[in-house]
Amino acid sequence: MRGLTLGDAFGETWFFRPAETLETALVERQLKDGPWPWTDDTAMALSLLRILDRHGRVDQDALAAEFAGAYAADPYRCYGASMHDVLRAIGDGEPWADVTRRQFDGMGSWGNGAAMRVAPLGAWFAGDLDTVVAEAVRSADVTHAHPEATAGAVAVAVAAALSVRGIPGGELIEAVAARVPDGEVASRLRRATRFALSADPRHVAGMVGCGSMISAADTVPYAIWCAAANLEDLTEALWATALAGGDVDTTCAIVGGIVAARTGLAGVPAAWLAACEPLPSPLVMNPGQ
Ligand code: R7I
């Protein structure tokens, strides 16, 4: 969870900056002064973690209520465009399944929001990959009804679980792809396996996307490639991920969640930890309970 938040907050400092200034700043590693606020990636991951803590699995009704409650309490966390309607309607008492399925002319959202929040779930169930997949699907359904959004969530959760289990970076992408249903996320993951882990992230992003579309397919394969390329070093992983630009808070949140599932916050400079907006303490206590 803390790796996801660090990635989210670090990435947000680079979010959709013009390519020229972004590249110079990142190549020269000009760290932005704190505080670095975290965004919806962290808010939704925290809600999911609270539900796992309380129920031991994804209780979808409870998760929908938790998401809606967190949104109502703090709506200015840069939520995805459709999430405002979704979370308000759920908060008003509409069934989450109806609200979620009617988004985007009844197709459901293929946004990257179900993937951005799910790495801690993968770490939580790391001992059993079938459970990781099943619970990731259940966690995605509550807000994202499109199969590509679900595929993105499955991919990130499985990657985090495999990270905990110590898989070598060179095996990660293929092992994840084997668990993801056919579709655009799976196809771009397979495309990502063609790039050496020493390749320039900007080149890989050019071939598989780095979140500019805010879709799961345009975000998750790149993030998993970046995590695979830097699975033992969280700080390096985040610098490398940000280099391609795009939806940087979310690519970095995904990478931070996956890599920290292996490393924890070991090696992260104190200045980064001090700049990052703190998480609530204790992490999983539900306000009001
Ligand atoms: O997926 P979601 O929660 O967004 C998460 C992203 C992260 O980067 C966050 O940090 C935040 O900035 O937003 O929210 P959605 O609104 O469901 O999906 C994100 C965007 O994907 C939407 O605003 C649309 O632009 C796009 N999108 C679609 N466009 C066309 N057709 C999602 N689904 C569709 C679709 O079916």
Residue showing tokens 């070598």 = 168
Residue that wins the pLDDT comparison between 66 and 25 = 66
8 Å CB contact between 274 and 33: no
Query: What is the overall mean pLDDT for the chain?
Result: 95
Residue 101 above 50 pLDDT? yes
Residue 289 above 60 pLDDT? no
The least confident of 1-10, 113-122, 235-244, 276-285 is: 276-285
Residue 27 above 90 pLDDT? no
Over range 95-123, report the average pLDDT.
98
* pLDDT value for 111: 98
Q: Which pair of structure tokens corresponds to residue 287?
A: 């306000």
Residue 99 above 90 pLDDT? yes
**Cross-strand bridge partners of residue 215:** 111
CA 144 remoteness from chain centre: 14
**Nearest-5° angle of CA 198, CA 202, CA 207?**
95
* pLDDT value for 285: 55
The CATH class for the domain spanning 2-275 reads mainly alpha
Residue 79 alpha carbon to ligand 1 centre in Å: 9
Residue 18 above 80 pLDDT? no
The residue whose C-alpha atom lies closest to atom 18 belonging to ligand 1 is 111
CB atoms within 10 A of CB 33: 8
- pLDDT tens track for 233-255: 999 999 999 999 999 999 999 99
Residue 22 above 50 pLDDT? yes
Residue 269 alpha carbon to ligand 1 centre in Å: 32
CA 104 to ligand 1: nearest atom: 36
Over range 47-51, report the average pLDDT.
97
Q: How confident is the model at residue 24 (pLDDT cuts 50, 70, 90)?
A: confident
- pLDDT tens track for 176-216: 999 999 999 999 999 999 999 999 999 999 999 999 999 99
Residue 271 alpha carbon to ligand 1 centre in Å: 32
* pLDDT value for 239: 94
Q: What is the pTM of this model?
A: 0.97
Residue 92 above 90 pLDDT? yes
The full set of domain ranges for the chain reads 2-275
CA 112 to ligand 1: nearest atom: 1
Contacts of 202 (CB under 8 A, 6+ apart): 243, 244
Q: Cα–Cα distance between 159 and 253 in angstroms, integer?
A: 13
- Candidates 12, 82, 148, 250: which one to mutate for ligand 1, based on the most atoms within 8 Å of Cβ? 82
Residues with C-beta less than 6 Å from any ligand 1 atom: 39-41, 78, 80-83, 104, 107, 109-113, 116, 146, 214-215, 247, 249-250
* pLDDT value for 19: 72
- pLDDT tens track for 126-178: 999 999 999 999 999 999 999 999 999 999 999 999 999 999 999 999 999 99
The residue whose C-alpha atom lies closest to atom 21 belonging to ligand 1 is 111
* pLDDT value for 287: 42
Over range 79-84, report the average pLDDT.
97
Residue showing tokens 């990636």 = 41
Q: How confident is the model at residue 20 (pLDDT cuts 50, 70, 90)?
A: confident
Residue 111 alpha carbon to ligand 1 centre in Å: 4
Q: Cα–Cα distance between 104 and 84 in angstroms, integer?
A: 13
Could you tell me what percentage of the chain is helix, strand and coil, using 3-state DSSP and rounding each to the nearest 5? 65, 0, 35
- pLDDT tens track for 60-75: 999 999 999 999 999 9
